[in-house]
A and B are shown apart, each in its own frame.
Chain A
Amino acid sequence: MSWLTELGPYVFMIGIGVVLYHYANRIVYTPISGQMGPERWPKIVLGLFIAICAFEAIRRGVALLRKGVSRAVSDDDGGFSQHMEAHPLLVVAAAAVTVAYLLLFDVLGFFTATILYVASVMWIGGVHRPLLVAVLSLAMSFGFSFFFLKLIYVALPLGQGPFMQVSLLVMKLVGVN
């Protein structure tokens, strides 16, 4: 298991680097004689990337062999040993809610989608009083609508069907035609 956690990420990155290097070889352009092409710089960067990953993988492999699997090298030298905070599931939930927000942005429109998003993030963020969350998310969504639509003129999505009507009403309330 130590082998996997110690070397796995570096081997994985070497794999990605090699695939991208292969793609760099396939960049299409008209060569000019005596002049470097557009693939040279990415290939230098990817070459360096692969070389560092390989060096680190070998270094760690050698260290593991010397010290034995039970005394892995990871802890103090800043390897890939993971440090997870107390609530990784909350992070997954926040990321999922944000993805849902982006997916529903065009359908629900800015105002309605923002009410749901702000309420969800507040709840995930530890505010567990339903009435407060409801009032605040409504107020914040209205406040952001005013700020972005009226003050800095951002064209935000209106949504579809009944949600568009809601957005239009909000626009009227914040004074945007």
Chain B
Amino acid sequence: MDGFHLLLAGFAAVFNLQDLAALVIGLCVGMAVSVLPGLGLVMGVVLALPFTYAMSLQTSIILLTAIYMSGTYAGCYTAILYKIPGEPMDVPLLWDGWAMTKRGDAAKALGWALVAALTGGLVSSAVMVSLTAPLSRFALSFGAPEYFAAIFFGLTTVVALAGRSLPNALISMCIGLFVSTVGIDSTYGAERFTFGSDVLINGIPFVMVLVGMYGFGEILDKIGQGGKGVSIKVESGSASTRLPSWKELWELRSTFLRSTTTGTLLGLIPGAGATISSFVSYGMERQYGKRGKQIGTGIPEGIVAPQIAATASVAGHMVPLLTLGLPGSGATAVILAAFLLHGVQPGPFMLKDPNSALTVYTILASMFVSVIGMCLLGFLWIRMIIRVLVIPQGILIAAIAMFALIGAFADRNSMSDLWIVVIFGIIAWMMERVKLPVAPMVLGAILGPMAEDSFTRSMITYHDDWTMFFHSPISATLMGLSVMSLLFPVLKKFRQSARKSPAVDGTASTLAN
């Protein structure tokens, strides 16, 4: 079967009762977590992960993808209506969205956000689906060095985009890579860093690291803010949505095209998640848009650009995961974890087997259904969903803590897993305090075994020849890109400090005078 027929079969599979129910639940969960400030969509995906143990692989991934997809959209409601960004990616939305609300155009602003999410999600999914088979064929030509180079590229871009300090991000990545080496080594069966503990012999389960760092760590963070609730009045009429006319849509065609392209392309870059896509797209609209100078004053372009890019980045992240097995964001790392929990390593070989190829295309088809579903839910039920904001923080925190802890316990009925969750939650909270970014550590812990495996195979095959990573054009390009992604922030910082220096000198001389 070719890609198109597989996609049609995938659509048919999505509409079976079990998968459709998972999709709808996923959309509701994603919307609920994304409207709550401080609880990110990654946390929603993490909390749902332990409940996928009992599901089929297909249903699990559909559930998690739906949470991921709708998590990029629902936050627009609170950003536009109440000036409360549920996620960092919603911040650009509130600049123009809130300005429109103050003018009495809230319904119109919500309509623009809905059309933007729909367009970004559908177009990006279509582009990415068409790229799946070629990317997969390309990935089949990868040997161990190319695979290592691809993982190395993924890690370095995440590091480069993770925070202000490149050394701190690298330190965080090393901690994650180290955590993945604990336990019995797969090649020699040697015990590494177990310190005589039975618990550590099987290694530190990365699912517990994920639940701890993204789930329990976030709970501690929220508690540290003093249980500040969000005080809003959910008025019955304020959350209605008015769609823009065809003429209005046509006038913004360049914005739609520019932002969809930006979001889709940025989605392909590991580490550049929905938040970066949203900010970059907003910045591009400001610079290149027809009404760029008016951005921020309450014009639709300021809503359309970030919303399209945020939603478009989801498909951009999902396809490298499905075709190469490489996650580029926190949410796709959790989805990779769900694959591995079901004993499946996503990658190019999935498309070679007819059954797993159908699974891949069913997941891709579910992205289209998720986009349409979340827009319908947003249009019809958003008033009910944003009521989650009026629940006191303390109650929400208690419920989420229980889901995180017992969800983790459910995997193996092991108390040691719960301790790992709590320990890594505390580590995540402490890391945030000392400005060590969490994302590189989590990705390091997940990609560590794959990186070590491909590195070991390369070194064995090429007799310890370190230069083999630069022999093939693919691995040499990826290694070159990795080096560039690490050098770019350093060069940028040098340029910034070079620009600042004259100003500082000038200020100093003025003060001296």
Contacts and interface: CB of A to CB of B under 8 A. Distances in A.
Main secondary structure of the interface of B (DSSP, over half): helix
B181 A41 contact: yes
Interface stretch (B360-368, B370-378, B458-466): B458-466
A131 interface: no
Contacts of A110: 406
A83 to B, nearest CB: 7
A45 B418 CA distance: 27
Contacts of A136: 395
A87 B223 contact: yes
Nearest to A35: B460
A42 B225 contact: no
Contacts of B190: 27-29, 37-39
Interface string A129-162: 0000000110010001000100011111000000
Contacts of B165: 77-79
Contacts of A86: 224-226
Interface in B149-188: 163-165, 167-168, 170-171, 174-175, 177-178, 181, 185, 187-188
A65 interface: no
A45 B415 contact: no
Range, interface on chain A: 35 or more
A40 B405 CA distance: 35
Given A23-B193, A82-B433, A95-B422, A140 B188 contact: no
Contacts of B181: 41-42, 45
B474 interface: no
A20 B229 CA distance: 43
A30 to B, nearest CB: 7
Interface in A35-54: 35-42, 45-46, 48-49, 52-53
A87 B229 CA distance: 15
B460 to A, nearest CB: 5
Contacts of A117: 398, 401-402
B435 A90 contact: no
Contact of A122 (B185, B224, B394, B413): B394
B291 interface: no
Interface string B207-224: 000000000100111111
Contact of B185 (A38, A95, A114, A123): A38
A119 to B, nearest CB: 8
B171 A53 contact: yes
Given A36-B460, A125-B397, A154-B410, A99 B435 contact: no
A173 interface: no
B506 interface: no
A64 interface: no
Contact of A154 (B225, B395, B398, B406): B406
A87 B433 contact: no
Interface string A73-89: 00011111111111110
A90 B226 contact: yes
Contact of B395 (A23, A38, A122): A122
Contacts of A106: 415
A121 interface: yes
A126 B229 contact: yes
Contacts of A127: 227, 392, 394-395
Pick from B51, B223, B413, B459 the residue with the most CB of A within 10 Å: B223
A105 B426 CA distance: 19
B434 interface: yes
Contacts of A30: 188
A9 to B, nearest CB: 6
Nearest to A55: B167
B192 interface: yes
B188 A98 contact: no
Nearest to B448: A45
Interface string B411-436: 00101001100100010010001111
Contact of A85 (B225, B395, B463): B225
A126 B227 CA distance: 5
A26 B193 CA distance: 10
B406 A144 contact: yes
B174 A48 contact: yes
Contact of A125 (B175, B223, B418, B419): B223
A41 B459 CA distance: 11
Interface in B49-75: 51, 54
Nearest to A97: B401
Contacts of B415: 102, 105-106
A39 B191 CA distance: 10
B445 to A, nearest CB: 12
B453 to A, nearest CB: 9
B220 A91 contact: yes
B409 interface: yes
Contacts of B397: 121-122, 125
Contacts of A122: 394-395, 397-398
A118 B398 contact: yes
B393 interface: yes
A37 B419 CA distance: 31
Given A38-B187, A127-B395, A148 B178 contact: no
B167 A56 contact: yes
A76 B415 CA distance: 41
A36 B460 CA distance: 7
A124 B463 CA distance: 58
27 contacts: A24-B192, A28-B191, A40-B459, A41-B455, A45-B181, A78-B164, A80-B435, A80-B436, A84-B433, A87-B226, A95-B422, A95-B426, A98-B401, A102-B418, A105-B415, A121-B223, A121-B394, A121-B397, A123-B394, A124-B227, A125-B222, A125-B223, A125-B393, A125-B398, A140-B398, A144-B402, A154-B413
Given A24-B192, A56-B168, A85-B221, 12 more contacts: A80-B168, A82-B435, A85-B224, A90-B223, A91-B223, A91-B224, A91-B429, A121-B223, A136-B395, A152-B54, A152-B410, A156-B409
Those 8 A-B pairs whose CB atoms lie nearest each other, nearest first:
A126-B227, A125-B394, A78-B165, A78-B164, A127-B394, A38-B185, A49-B174, A29-B190
